[in-house]
Amino acid sequence: MTARILITGAGGGVGTLMRPRLAAEGRVLRLLDIAELPAAADGENVELVEASVTDMAAMEAALEGVDAVIHLGGHSLEESWDKILRVNIDGTHTVLEAARRAGVRRVVLASSNHAVGYVEQADGEAGDYLFPRPDTYYGVSKVAMEALGSLYADRYGLDVIAIRIGSCFEKPRDVRMLSTWMSPDDAARLFEACLSAPSPGFRVVWGISANKRAWFSLDEARSLGYEPQDDSEVYAAEVLEKHGEPDPSSPAVKYLGGVWCGPDFDTAVKEAGR
Ligand code: 15L
């Protein structure tokens, strides 16, 4: 079992869900976030670090004595090019480079379905190594994250696994998420598999549950030892009653990235005003 794990972005949505789930006997979670984190609960074996993933000195210090890093830090939604470049792209480089300098051999990266958001879901089950088709600047940052992970694996021999996370929430929130959902418990199972798989090298895997309506392959994730236990189908009636069957031509279900492929996520036009 991995003894000391650094989790960046530990105060974010996925980080908060993983904090109790990745706790284990004999393991220390070093939790890092730019914002103040909730104090350790009684008996909780955590170390709290307040720092930015863009700060190389802070990241080198945070990676001292660590066995593996789960990099969740960064903007989790679309943002201006400037913020995406600085926090998501430069931040990921900083984490990988600090890991190399500190001798940390395993890095798990939170990539996203938005790295391939413009792939049409009607094209059949999305394979594990789909060529990038980012739907936003955020999606571009996830492509850059995967590229940086590949570089650090090939050049420096780190084990780097990029998880193209579907939608990791307590419950699916819309019809698309019946296909893209990863339950928090399955997410913890997948992170554990990524931490313990022997010598994986560089991998790209999909991060979803065993959903009946899944759009994505789980072959590569399963090859690392991931065995999902949950299925969004238990929420299907509730979600369909609330949202209705979507129009198949709407971006909400036409593309893997859903509404992120629609006009509301056109950051270039928003920034330029035309
Ligand atoms: C993501 O990458 C986002 O971080 C998350 O907020 C969701 O929107 C998710 O993708 C999704 O596509 O459902």
Q: Annotated active-site positions, please?
A: 138
Rg (CA), the chain: 18
Whether residue 38 is predicted with pLDDT greater than 80 in this model: the reply is yes
Q: How confident is the model at residue 210 (pLDDT cuts 50, 70, 90)?
A: very high
| Separation of alpha carbons 231 and 249, rounded Å | 25
The enclosing H or E element of 224 equals none
265: pLDDT strictly greater than 90 = yes
**Topology of 4-272 in CATH?**
Rossmann fold (3.40.50)
3-state secondary structure 22-45: CCCCCCEEEEEECCCCCCCCCCCC
Residue-wise pLDDT tens digits, 91-126: 999 999 999 999 999 999 999 999 999 999 988 899
From CA 4, how far away is CA 46, in angstroms rounded? 9
Q: How far is CA 64 from CA 25, 69, 70, 162, 183, in A?
A: 21, 11, 14, 22, 31
Calculate what percentage of the chain has a pLDDT beyond 70. Answer: 100
* Ligand 1, residues at Cβ distance < 6 Å: 76-77, 112-114, 165, 167, 180
Which residue's CA is minimally distant from atom 8 of ligand 1?
A: 167
| Sheet containing 46-50: order of strands | 46-50, 28-33, 4-8, 68-71, 106-112, 159-165, 202-207
3-state DSSP call for residue 92? helix
Segment 66-78, tens digit of pLDDT: 999 999 999 999 9
pLDDT class of 227 with cuts at 50, 70, 90 = very high
Model pLDDT for residues 135-159, shown as the tens digit of each residue = 999 999 999 999 999 999 999 999 9
Question: Structure pTM?
Answer: 0.98
**How many angstroms does the Cα of residue 12 sit away from the middle of ligand 1?**
12
Whole-number Å distance between alpha carbons of 120 and 255: 4
Which string of b and e fits 231-253 if b means at least 16 CB within 10 Å? bbbebbeebeeeeeebeeeebbb
Which atom of ligand 1 is nearest the CA belonging to 13? 6
What pLDDT, in 10s, does the model give residues 2-31?
A: 799 999 999 999 999 999 999 999 999 999
Give distance in angstroms: CA of 67 to centre of ligand 1: 28
pLDDT band at residue 52 using 50, 70 and 90 as cut-offs: very high
| Nearest-5° Cα angle at 120, 114 to 124 | 110
Calculate mean pLDDT across residues 172-197: 98
Q: What is the mean pLDDT of the chain?
A: 97
Q: Whose CA is nearest to atom 7 of ligand 1?
A: 167
Tokens encoding 18: 């993983």
Distance CA 54, CA 33 (A): 11
Asked if pLDDT for residue 247 goes beyond 90, the answer is no
* Helices 56-63 & 91-102 angle (0-180, nearest 10): 40
Q: Is 244 left (phi over 0), alpha (psi -120 to 50) or beta?
A: left
Q: Are strands 106-112 and 68-71 parallel, antiparallel or unpaired?
A: parallel
| Number of CB atoms found within 10 A of residue 186's CB | 23
H or E, element range at 13: helix 13-21
Residue 254 reports pLDDT greater than 90: yes
Q: What angle do CA 257, 260, 265 make, to 5 degrees?
A: 160
pLDDT for position 252: 81
